[in-house]
Amino acid sequence: MRIAPTIVAVPLLVLLLTWLSLRAANLDAEQFYRALGELDHFSMVEAAVHRDVLNMRIGVLRNYDPLVQEVNALSTSLAQLRETVASDEQTVKVIDRLAQSVRQREALVEKFKSSNALLQNSLAYFSMFSDRLVPADQIESMTPGVGALAAAMLRLTLDTSSTTALAVEDRLNELAREPVSPGDAEAVNALLAHGRLLHDLLPATDAMLKSLCGAPEKANRILVRDLIGAHQEASRATAHRFRVVLYITSLALVAALVYLGLQLQQRASALRRRAAFEHVLAGISIRFLNSRPQHIDRNIDQALAEMAECVGADRAYFAVLGPSPCLHRWSRGDITYPPNWPERAPALAAKFNPAFEGIVQVVDANALARGAE
């Protein structure tokens, strides 16, 4: 048996199966799940930023620490996302655009924080000074313009449109022109200072809020998700194809194994028969070696019978042609000889070309012409 092809074929087959298995296992799936998970996390943090800037604006959030953590988390999340999809240049480009957008948003958040801090201060002071100028036990203010300014400012806290801002500006200018008693001068000046600041800050801060809570990042985020999704789908499809190839390969291997098994069985059977025949031949040889001349014919008959039984023949002949011909024959049980047999055997043998040392080999007995035996 030639061993070299087997030595080459087996490692190649192992490599092929390993490669097919790895490709069919869709090992990239974990990476895509991580990327999508990170993108979800990014979206959650982004929503938290939106929530907390609104909470800061209305005073529900007590300090800026959560906002700082969230903004940092946005950058961290994007860095991890970039690392996860680093092998895909197209997605990395979109993530870089997203990162640029996050940096712009972070700058806006910082502006909002600074603006909101001043806004909260000035709102507090505006309220305090307007209260001081209009004590609760007085029906009318000593300075009438204070009430009108307070009303206009309240509208501006609810509606920061330019019309409302213009109304506040008018009230501020009116109050600035009004004569003020010396006792109220300091409070009116403070009211005007904070009022002017609020006039600028309220619309500006709300504009920042609108920009912050807008959706310029959404498009890039969706694009990243789509790209990851497309890669994930392609990876799945590839893995599916390789699973099919792996299945077909497995079926081919099973068929090959069955074929080889049958071959092995046949060869084992042939070997067993051959061994049995060799054993019979060995016994016959030993018997001939130990035989006396007068027992040769009997031993030939016995040998003929043993060999014929060993190969499962119905009839067997041993003919010696020549000057002193002789003929030995054997048949199984009550099987009779055909007419003119075994006398016709030499004539039939003469029809074939002896292959080696006068041995005639009939490969397919069924192929012989009917009646040839």
Partner 1 sequence: MRFAYPWRIASVCLALLLANTLGVGSEDLPAAAVTPRTDQEPITPIPPAPDADPRKLALGARLFNDPRLSHDGSRACVTCHDVSSNGADANERDTAMDGSPYQFNTSTVFNAALSFRYGWEGRFRTLEAQVESSLNNPLLMGTSVDEVLVKLRSDDELAGLFREAYGHAPDRDSLFNAIATYERSLLTPGSRFDHWLNGDVTALTADELSGYRLFKSLGCVSCHQGVNIGGNLFERHGIFHPLAAPKPEILRVPSLRNIVMTPPYFHDGSAATLDEAVRKMGAAQLDRKLSDRQVDAIVAFLQTLTGTYHGAPVVAAQP
Judged by the rule CB under 8 A, the positions of this chain that interact with partner 1 are: 58-59, 62-65, 67-68, 72, 110, 113-114, 117-118, 120-121, 123-128, 130-131, 134, 139-141, 146-151, 153-155, 157, 190, 193-194, 197
Q: Please answer whether residues 119 and 201 qualify as being in contact, where contact means their C-beta atoms are separated by less than 8 angstroms.
A: yes
Enclosing H/E stretch for 316: strand 315-320
Q: Please answer whether residues 35 and 83 qualify as being in contact, where contact means their C-beta atoms are separated by less than 8 angstroms.
A: no
Enclosing H/E stretch for 319: strand 315-320
Q: Please answer whether residues 328 and 301 qualify as being in contact, where contact means their C-beta atoms are separated by less than 8 angstroms.
A: yes
Q: Round to whole Å and give the CA distance between 328 and 335.
A: 16
Closest CA to 160 of 126, 211, 202, 118: 202
Closer Cβ to partner 1, 121 or 302, answer by number: 121
Closer Cβ to partner 1, 152 or 316, answer by number: 152
Shortest reach from residue 33's CB to partner 1, in Å: 30
Closer Cβ to partner 1, 199 or 328, answer by number: 199
Secondary structure (3-state) at 329: strand
Bond into 342 cis (ω within 30): yes
Shortest reach from residue 248's CB to partner 1, in Å: 50
Amino acid at 192: L
Secondary structure (3-state) at 81: helix
Shortest reach from residue 206's CB to partner 1, in Å: 15
Closer Cβ to partner 1, 76 or 101, answer by number: 76
Shortest reach from residue 213's CB to partner 1, in Å: 19
Angle between helices 162-177 and 182-213 in degrees, nearest 10: 170
Shortest reach from residue 81's CB to partner 1, in Å: 19
Bond into 66 cis (ω within 30): no
Q: Please answer whether residues 210 and 91 qualify as being in contact, where contact means their C-beta atoms are separated by less than 8 angstroms.
A: no
DSSP state, 359? B
Closer Cβ to partner 1, 118 or 245, answer by number: 118
Shortest reach from residue 98's CB to partner 1, in Å: 19
Q: Round to whole Å and give the CA distance between 281 and 277.
A: 6
Closer Cβ to partner 1, 134 or 307, answer by number: 134
Closer Cβ to partner 1, 141 or 331, answer by number: 141
* Helix, strand, coil content of the chain in percent (nearest 5): 75, 5, 20
Shortest reach from residue 221's CB to partner 1, in Å: 23
Closer Cβ to partner 1, 62 or 292, answer by number: 62
Shortest reach from residue 3's CB to partner 1, in Å: 49
Which residues are within 8 A (CB) of 143 and not within 5 positions of it... i.e. 6 or more apart? 133, 175, 178, 180, 181, 184, 188
